[in-house]
Structure 1
Amino acid sequence: MRSTAGSTEPTGTTPRPEHAGRIRRFSTAERMIHRTTGCLMLLCLVSAACLYLGPLAQLVGRRHLLVTVHEWSGISLPLPLLLGLLSPAFRADLRRLNRFAVYDRQWLRAVRRRRTSPEARPAGKFNAGQKLYAGWIAGAVPVMLFTGLLMWFLGLLPFISRTSAIFVHDILAWAITFVLLGHVSKALKDPEARLGMRTGYVSHEWAQRHHSRWLREERRTDEAAERATP
């Protein structure tokens, strides 16, 4: 059962006063996974830039340290997600991200036609753009990890040359950089979304405007829980 303060906290948990009247979007585990993954990704990109861009390499120096930071932050990148599988809330959100519904295609058509109304852009907890982004990152990270290991352990797979691994690794690194910049720019334009990731809670008005189907699902769950209460 859920609490009656507009959140999705379990019964018996009292939301803090600043969260009253708001709806819970992310659990503590999900927010920690997002932050940890973001920090590791930032370490990977910054250390890579300092290794491969001449002016930055000269400015920072300490190449051996940067190589170590880059290698171990890259190897550690999948760990937050793997540990997050212990969280039921995180597993539920992975199922949502992995499901592309009819209304997601409608959302994409509305984006192409620049329609901004909630009716034109119906979305569940995650919109179609967020699902595509999550799927792309989920595919890119293993490829980066694989090619990085090929570069680190020479001869790991003799039939794949180190030059080929470097080429794929570098091209994909640039692609990830541009995609992440797009992700960050979208987040900077939406303070409420950032608040939801920082505190776990968003307003009902924001949820209705951007994720109306998810809000309806939460309301139905709350109503069902209330009816089940003796």
Structure 2
Amino acid sequence: MRRFSGAERWVHRTTAWLMLVCVATAACLYVPQLAELVGRRHLVVTVHQWSGLLIPVPLLAGLVSRALRADLSRLNRFGPHDRVWLRAVRHRDHRPGSRPAGKFNAGQKLYAAWIAGAVLVMIGTGVLMWFTGLAPLMWRTGATFVHDWLALAIGIALAGHMAMALADPEARRGMRTGSVERHWARTEHPLWGESADAPDDDPARRQGLSG
């Protein structure tokens, strides 16, 4: 069954590459051993700055896609079933039916919200560090502190995200090809995959108003 459109997969793939370049160049700037190995610090700084600034661009370009806009709406909406899912995770409840989820589960919604906010903060603090004339020294010092520690948190979150993706081949297949097995959809996202036309927690979808 269809899970993601071509536009959504392009946005995810392009954003992922930009994020990886940004993280890799950050590591080369902050880890002395990597800095010595790579060298050419000015080039690394330039690549890091521009890859960071470009991270939101694929998402903004992808907003022309109705499917992407519909999925963003789903990610931005929490329902009673999401609280049930989080409670089951907290209590490590793996019983069948204990973790109801629409097209995106509560964990994916929380991750999407956190990473979106983190990227905006990173861009804002990065701009203050890049263009030194925009703010006084005290502000730039605070921006550097926030930028560095948030970068570490993002790196940990991305590692967890990739680890979970590696543990779920069908989820990776959905992002790679756009389609998933119906059994997986009914098991992992039952509120979305329980019927042939894949209704989910979006009323507009059930009314045929969004793709």
Could you state the TM-score of these two structures normalised by the residue count of structure 2? 0.91
In 2, Cα distance between the equivalents of 1:187 and 1:119?
Answer: 22
Cα deviations by residue, 1:48-96 (Å, 9 ceiling, x for unpaired) = 0001110000011011110110000001000011011110000000000
Residue 201 (structure 1) aligned with residue 179 (structure 2): yes
Residue 97 (structure 1) aligned with residue 75 (structure 2): yes
In 2, Cα distance between the equivalents of 1:136 and 1:209?
Answer: 26
Partner of 1:39: 17
In 1, Cα distance between the equivalents of 2:145 and 2:85?
Answer: 35
In the TM superposition, residue 217 of structure 1 has moved relative to its aligned partner by 6.3
> Measured at CA, do residues 220 and 48 of structure 1 come closer, stay the same or move farther in structure 2, by a change above 3 Å?
closer
User: CA RMSD of the aligned region, Å?
Assistant: 1.6
Q: Which amino acid aligns with 2:176?
A: R
In the TM superposition, residue 218 of structure 1 has moved relative to its aligned partner by 5.6
Q: Given that residues 118 and 210 in structure 1 are in contact (C-alpha distance below 8 angstroms), is that contact kept between their aligned partners in structure 2? A: no
Aligned pair partner of 1:179 in 157, 164, 182: 157
Aligned pair partner of 2:7 in 20, 29, 34: 29
Secondary structure in structure 2 of the residue aligned to 1:161: helix
Unaligned runs of 5+ in 2: 200-205
Unaligned runs of 5+ in 1: 1-22, 226-230
Aligned pair partner of 1:125 in 103, 115, 120: 103
Runs of 4+ in 1 over 4 A off after TM superposition: none
Could you state the TM-score of these two structures normalised by the residue count of structure 1? 0.84
Q: Which amino acid aligns with 2:95?
A: S
In 2, Cα distance between the equivalents of 1:167 and 1:37?
Answer: 25
Aligned pair partner of 1:215 in 193, 196, 199: 193
Q: Given that residues 185 and 194 in structure 2 are in contact (C-alpha distance below 8 angstroms), is that contact kept between their aligned partners in structure 1? A: no
In 1, Cα distance between the equivalents of 2:137 and 2:28?
Answer: 30
Residue 81 (structure 1) aligned with residue 59 (structure 2): yes
Q: Given that residues 140 and 172 in structure 1 are in contact (C-alpha distance below 8 angstroms), is that contact kept between their aligned partners in structure 2? A: yes
> Measured at CA, do residues 38 and 144 of structure 1 come closer, stay the same or move farther in structure 2, by a change above 3 Å?
same
In the TM superposition, residue 162 of structure 1 has moved relative to its aligned partner by 1.6
Higher radius of gyration, 1 or 2: 1
> Measured at CA, do residues 104 and 125 of structure 1 come closer, stay the same or move farther in structure 2, by a change above 3 Å?
same
Partner of 2:89: 111
Secondary structure in structure 2 of the residue aligned to 1:99: coil
In the TM superposition, residue 117 of structure 1 has moved relative to its aligned partner by 3.4
Secondary structure in structure 2 of the residue aligned to 1:126: coil
Q: Which amino acid aligns with 2:117?
A: G
In 2, Cα distance between the equivalents of 1:126 and 1:220?
Answer: 12
In the TM superposition, residue 39 of structure 1 has moved relative to its aligned partner by 0.2
Aligned residues: 201
In the TM superposition, residue 155 of structure 1 has moved relative to its aligned partner by 2.2
